[in-house]
Amino acid sequence: MSHTGFLKKYSEEDKKATEDALKTVEMFQLKDRQIGQLSGGQRQRVFIARALATNPKLLLLDEPNSGLDPHMQDELYRLLNRLKQEMAIIMVTHDLSAVSVYVDKIACLNRTLHYHNSKEIPIEDLEATYQCPVELIAHGVPHRVLERHKGSS
C-alpha cells in the first residue's frame, strides 16, 4: 500500500484506506472472509479494492473478466464504469462486445495498433486485428458461421 513502506506497521490510515476501498467495490460486508471463501467475482472486486487502497491515478487490469459468469462480468463493468470518473483505467480484454458498452476509447492490438477515440470500431480494423472476416451481429439477429480462413489453424 502507498501508506506503508517496507517493514512498516499497518497504521490507522492504512486501515481507513482499506475500508474505504472495500466500500467502494461493495465488498466491505465480507471483509472478515478469507479470500478462498469468495466467488470469482468477489475476489476480483477485492483485488481491485487492494489497488484502490493505494489511491492510484491509473488502474491497469489484465482480463479482469476472465473466469466470471455473465452476471458478475456485468457487475464488474458497472464498477469500472463508476471508477473511470475518478481515475484512468486501461484494461486488456478479448471480449470487445461486452465491454464496448462501458468504454470511451478502444485500442485493438495484434501486431498493429488500431486506436479509436470512440466505442465504434470500423469493420476493416477488426478484420486486420483478428485476421479474419468479421460481420457485425446484433442480439436477436440470425448469424452465420464463417468457413476456415487465412490465419486459422
Give the model's confidence band at 4: pLDDT under 50 very low, under 70 low, under 90 confident, else very high: low
Residue range 64-93: average pLDDT?
Answer: 89
Type and span of the H or E element at 46: helix 40-52
- For residue 18, count other CB atoms closer than 10 A to its CB: 19
Task: Say what the pLDDT of residue 51 is.
Answer: 95
Q: Which of 29-33, 77-81, 122-126 has the highest mean pLDDT?
A: 29-33
Task: Say what the pLDDT of residue 145 is.
Answer: 55
Cell of 33: 472472509
Out of 27-31, 38-42, 82-86, 100-104, which region has the weakest mean confidence (pLDDT)?
A: 100-104
Cell of 112: 498493429
Cα 56 to Cα 17: distance, rounded to the nearest angstrom:
12
Please name the CATH architecture into which domain 12-94 falls. Answer: 3-Layer(aba) Sandwich (3.40)
Looking at per-residue confidence, does 92 or 1 come out higher? 92
What separation, in Å, do the N-terminal and C-terminal C-alpha atoms of the chain show? 45
Domain boundaries, the chain: 12-94, 105-139
Q: Let me know: does 121 contact 114? Beta carbons within 8 Å.
A: yes
Give the model's confidence band at 35: pLDDT under 50 very low, under 70 low, under 90 confident, else very high: very high
Query: Which SS3 state, helix, strand or coil, does residue 91 take?
Result: strand
Q: Let me know: does 127 contact 133? Beta carbons within 8 Å.
A: yes
In this prediction the pTM is 0.72
